[in-house]
Amino acid sequence: MSSPGIHGSRRNAKRKTIDSSDQATDPSFKNIRRCPHSGCPTKVPICFAGATERCAGSGYTSRWYHTSAAEHYCNECFEHYYRCHKDGYEVYLSWKKLWSTHGTTDASIRMFMTNSVLPFWVQCRECHKWRQWSKSTTPIPEFLKNYVCGTMASGKKSKLENPCEVPEDQRVTLTRDPSWTHLISSLSYMKNSPAWPYLTSYFPDKLGMCPSDHEVFKERKTPVMHKYLQPFVEADSSEIANGVAPDVMEEQEMDEFPEYASIPSMYLAIRNICLTLWNLNFKEWLTKERCATQIICRGLGRVLYIESLDKVLWFLTRRGLINVGLLSVPRSPQSSYISNKFIKPNPSVIVVGAGTAGLAAAKTLQGLGLKVTVLEAKSQIGGRVCDDDSLGVCVPMGAQILNGALNNPIAIICEQAGILVNSLSDSCEVINVNGELMDKQTDERMDFHFNAILDIIADWRKGKELTQDTSLLAKLKEMHQQFLDESQLSFTTDEQKKMLALFIEEESLMNFHISNLEFACGDTLRNVSALHWDQNEDYPQFSGENLVLPAGISQVLSKLAEGLDIDLDTKVTKVDYGEETVKVVSENGKEWTADKVLVTLPLAVLQDKDVEFSPCLPEWKSKAMKSLGVGKIEKIILRFPRPFWRKKIKDCKVFGHIPEKQDNVGYFNVFYDFSTDKVDKMYLLVTHLTGSALKLRDRLDRDVVAACMEVLKALFPEETVPKPLDYFVTKWTKDPYSKMCYSYVPIGVDGDAYDIMSQDVASKVYFAGEATNRQFPQSVTGAYVSGVREAHKIFSTLVEDDT
Ligand SMILES: Cc1cc2nc3c(=O)[nH]c(=O)nc-3n(C[C@H](O)[C@H](O)[C@H](O)COP(=O)(O)OP(=O)(O)OC[C@H]3O[C@@H](n4cnc5c(N)ncnc54)[C@H](O)[C@@H]3O)c2cc1C
In this structure, are residues 685 and 652 in contact, taking their beta carbons and an 8 Å threshold? no
**353 CA → ligand 1 middle, Å:** 9
Atom number in ligand 1 closest to CA 770: 26
Q: In this structure, is residue 665 part of a structural domain?
A: no
Candidates 548, 587, 774, 780: which one to mutate for ligand 1, based on the most atoms within 8 Å of Cβ?
780
Residue 376 known to bind ligand: yes
Would the CA dihedral through 391, 397, 403, 407 be positive or negative? negative
Strand partners, 689: 634, 667
pLDDT at residue 498, rounded to an integer: 59
**727 CA → ligand 1 middle, Å:** 22
Same domain for 266 and 198, yes or no, is yes
The mean pLDDT of 698-727, rounded to a whole number, is: 94
Strands 546-548 and 422-424, bridge-based pairing: antiparallel
**794 CA → ligand 1 middle, Å:** 22
For ligand 1, atom 2, name the residue with the nearest CA: 398
**If DSSP states are collapsed to H, E and C, what string results for 326-384?**
CCCCCCCCCCCCCCCCECCCCCEEEEECCEHHHHHHHHHHHHCCCEEEEECCCCCCECC
Q: For residue 764, how many other CB atoms are within 10 A of its CB?
A: 19
For ligand 1, atom 49, name the residue with the nearest CA: 383
Does position 506 have pLDDT exceeding 50, yes or no? no
Distance CA 55, CA 76 (A): 5
Q: For residue 467, how many other CB atoms are within 10 A of its CB?
A: 6
Does position 39 have pLDDT exceeding 80, yes or no? yes
pLDDT at residue 28, rounded to an integer: 47
Residue 357 known to bind ligand: no
The mean pLDDT of 505-519, rounded to a whole number, is: 75
Q: In this structure, is residue 2 part of a structural domain?
A: no
Candidates 376, 384, 516: which one to mutate for ligand 1, based on the most atoms within 8 Å of Cβ?
384
Does position 372 have pLDDT exceeding 60, yes or no? yes
pLDDT at residue 343, rounded to an integer: 74
**770 CA → ligand 1 middle, Å:** 8
Domain end point (choices 98, 115, 132): 115
Q: In this structure, is residue 785 part of a structural domain?
A: yes
Distance CA 192, CA 293 (A): 11
Q: How confident is the model at residue 660 (pLDDT cuts 50, 70, 90)?
A: confident
> 99-138: b or e for each residue (b if 16 or more CB lie within 10 Å)?
beebbebebebbbbbbbbbbbbbbbbeebebbbbbbbeee
Does position 703 have pLDDT exceeding 80, yes or no? yes
**556 CA → ligand 1 middle, Å:** 14
- Of 479 and 654, which is predicted with more confidence? 654
Same domain for 143 and 252, yes or no, is yes
Does position 596 have pLDDT exceeding 70, yes or no? yes
Does position 500 have pLDDT exceeding 80, yes or no? no
Q: In this structure, is residue 516 part of a structural domain?
A: no
Same domain for 616 and 761, yes or no, is yes
Domain count of the chain? 3
Sort residue 208 into left (φ over 0), alpha (ψ -120 to 50) or beta: left
Distance CA 192, CA 210 (A): 8
pLDDT at residue 536, rounded to an integer: 94
Domain end point (choices 296, 318, 340): 318
Q: In this structure, is residue 765 part of a structural domain?
A: yes
- Which residues form ligand 1's pocket by a CB distance below 6 Å? 352-358, 375-378, 383-385, 398-401, 571-572, 600-602, 605, 610-611, 633, 635, 730, 732, 737-738, 741-742, 769-770, 778-781, 783
Does position 14 have pLDDT exceeding 60, yes or no? no
Q: What percent of the chain has pLDDT over 90?
A: 72
Q: How confident is the model at residue 22 (pLDDT cuts 50, 70, 90)?
A: very low
pLDDT per residue as tens digits for the range 763-803: 999 999 999 999 999 999 999 999 999 999 999 998 876 54
The phi, psi pair for 523, rounded to 5°, reads -160, 170
Q: In this structure, is residue 210 part of a structural domain?
A: yes
pLDDT per residue as tens digits for the range 65-84: 999 999 999 999 999 999 99
Domain end point (choices 87, 115, 143): 115
Does position 50 have pLDDT exceeding 90, yes or no? yes
We report the CATH number of the domain holding residue 767 as 3.50.50.60
Does position 545 have pLDDT exceeding 90, yes or no? yes
For ligand 1, atom 37, name the residue with the nearest CA: 737
Q: How confident is the model at residue 497 (pLDDT cuts 50, 70, 90)?
A: low
Q: Give the DSSP per-residue string, 676-702.
A: -TTSTT-EEEEEEEEGGGGGGGGS-HH
Same domain for 310 and 352, yes or no, is no
Same domain for 233 and 372, yes or no, is no
Mean model confidence pLDDT for the chain: 89
Helix (H) / strand (E) element for 73: namely: strand 71-74
**519 CA → ligand 1 middle, Å:** 16
Residue 377 known to bind ligand: yes
Q: How confident is the model at residue 285 (pLDDT cuts 50, 70, 90)?
A: very high
In 229-287, which residue ranges form alpha helices assigned H by DSSP? 251-256, 264-280
Does position 713 have pLDDT exceeding 80, yes or no? yes
pLDDT per residue as tens digits for the range 346-365: 899 999 999 999 999 999 99
Q: In this structure, is residue 525 part of a structural domain?
A: no
**499 CA → ligand 1 middle, Å:** 36
Same domain for 199 and 242, yes or no, is yes
For ligand 1, atom 26, name the residue with the nearest CA: 769
Helix (H) / strand (E) element for 303: namely: helix 301-307
The ipTM (two decimal places) reads: 1.00
Same domain for 45 and 106, yes or no, is yes
Same domain for 286 and 181, yes or no, is yes
pLDDT at residue 487, rounded to an integer: 64
Does position 10 have pLDDT exceeding 70, yes or no? no
Same domain for 300 and 210, yes or no, is yes
Distance CA 265, CA 249 (A): 8
The number of CA neighbours under 13 Å toward the Cβ of 569 is 2
Q: How confident is the model at residue 212 (pLDDT cuts 50, 70, 90)?
A: confident
**164 CA → ligand 1 middle, Å:** 57
Query: Which domain range does residue 106 map to?
Result: 20-115
Same domain for 209 and 222, yes or no, is yes
pLDDT at residue 5, rounded to an integer: 33
The mean pLDDT of 406-435, rounded to a whole number, is: 93
Same domain for 46 and 76, yes or no, is yes
Q: In this structure, is residue 182 part of a structural domain?
A: yes
Same domain for 357 and 293, yes or no, is no
Distance CA 710, CA 606 (A): 38
Distance CA 616, CA 254 (A): 38
Cα–Cα nearest to 422, from 401, 395, 393: 401
